[in-house]
Structure 1
Amino acid sequence: MGVCVLLRKNQSGDDPAALDNGAGHHRNGNRRDNGCGRLSLGQETLSNQVLIPMKDMLNKTFSIIGEWVRVITGTSGDDYLAKLNRDLVAAGMEDSIPAARLLGEQTLSLIWFPIVWLFIFSMMPFFRFMFEGPKQILFYVGMMAAGFFFPTLRVRDRMKNRQESIRLALPDAADLLTISVEAGLDFMSALKRIVEKLRPGPLREEMERFFRQMELGRSRHDSLKEMSNRVQLDDLSNMCSALIQADRLGSSIAPVLRIQSDVLRTRRMQRAEKRAMEAPIKMMAPLLACIFPAVFIIMFAPLFIQMYMDLTR
């Protein structure tokens, strides 16, 4: 009877060692999953309880400092804050960075930037001559100016990239708008078609915003003017001005769109030709700095080695 039981166990393939190993692997897998879950939960807790409140506190501090600077400086502060707000809108960052916060960052950077670089340069003996006499004053003034404009670099870079993206996509959008209007669609239907056909990007965002404003009842004149002021791009401003003029005169916009479309495509071709002609000039610096020294070493190194060996004999 006992032999039959053992035979049945062997035939069924239920090896006790294999079962123990399988259970061990299952337990190890559960431990790893639990460990990863605890790590993810810990990171989320750290982000929610420490990082996010700290970020909010810094944002509030920068905003308070910016408002304080604006109140002290008076009208000039209001004008500069309005300029910062225009740049943030053109960069598409008006929702993430308020203008008062950026002004607060500039104010603090005006103070800590010279201090940090003063500490760094003081540790280098080669730069100690900069802290002698009038040079020290020039160093402080230069570092304060650099620190004041340092926080705006990312805004200006983002604004230039966004404007360049709109500039590249605008001729195709103008062609599509012209074809749609010439085919018999009204301006709103043609604009809706553009919003649907354009690739996701800054131009599509601006067109969607322009379309929503007109749907809410704003006039074409006001919507075009606001979009032109918001983007701060010459090509788009010229197109908006032409459409506003056609709207005031009551003329058809199809010929105006056709002319603007041709102008935009011509300008895009001219910019491409200009960059192609500038490419050889821009390549001169890398050639002089990287390739020519290597060529000179290959050509003259054996000669100098031979001369040195002859002189040492």
Structure 2
Amino acid sequence: MEKFERIELIKKLSNAEGISGFEDNVLEIVKNQVNDIYNVERDSMNNLYINNISKENRKKPLVMLEAHSDEVGFMVQSIEANGLLKFVPIGGWSSQQVQAHKVKVLTSNGKYLKGIISSTPVHFLKGDGKMELKDMFVDVGVFSYDEAIEKGIEIGSPIVPDVECEYLEDSKLFLGKAFDDRVGCAIITEVMKDLKNHMESLNVEVSGVLSSQEEVGLRGAIVSSQRVCPDLAIVLEAPPADDTFRNKYTSQGGLRNGVQIRHIDPTMIANPRFVKFIKDTAKKYNIKYQETVRESGGTNAGKIHLENLGIPTVVLGVPTRYAHSHHGFVSLEDYESTLELVKALLKELNEEIIKNF
């Protein structure tokens, strides 16, 4: 994929509205990219399968490339008499990152209504001025319950951050929302398109999967991994960067430091033989990488590696500054390092290597 196409794909996926359970717009973007190349299916969980091959029709081991399509956001819980919207968070949010930001609320007519997450002017604040999420509302510029209903707002309406992704040419950074995990979706899309004319030359079969509802409990991946039953899984993620508050010796998720290889988090210890193979492959192809040992957090790998009597699984990440907030940064360089490592791994893998993991 040319640089311009790559940038546009990442921007489109970042801009797409898709909180957990409402990932349809994300799936449509990816489907439009690969529909004429592969068999593409969607299940009732809103998981998307690209080139899924049943076990009886496989001639080679199957590698699943997986990313989650959902983003963190909010949902309307109730409508106040004055038209303000009470909401609940969908996924992990810190209250300090939410107030006064723009959002969009999906209405019953399928259009998004712009709003602001309520904040109290400094003139009226007392004490430290902090508010909890449970005390905040979304203001869509109406003045009554009836007016909100007339606008098409309903209980259960999804709410997404209102952010337009930009590519900053000078710094080679993307500034936008939902890089967790739309960069993973973009990598899978690119890899599958690139394999169009090269699949037969590989010693493995490759399926791409976009799983739903990761941000609310890794739910879609439970279903998708059971359906695909892969022999090996590579999870593409956008982990939180730590280079803004840690030094160069303790930072393990720095921008422009290459693809992040995860050894452990509370949900999974990565297969160490697979990790070694990945590091050896990165060195062979001169691909920049960094390693992390995580004390918190988790990914779909936590569910995937337990399926099918155990699946060798690893998480490769594109570090994202200010994840789970309205705005974040990711580096095109790190994205491309991750993309190239995935391609290199698919070239190097074969049945004997996978058996030895």
TM-score range, shorter chain: under 0.3
**Higher normalized contact order (CA 8 Å, seq sep 6+, divided by chain length):** 2
* Structure with max Cα Rg: 1
If the length of structure 2 is used for normalisation, what is the TM-score? 0.19
Give TM-score scaled by structure 1 length.
Answer: 0.21
Tell me which protein shows more helix as a share of its residues: 1
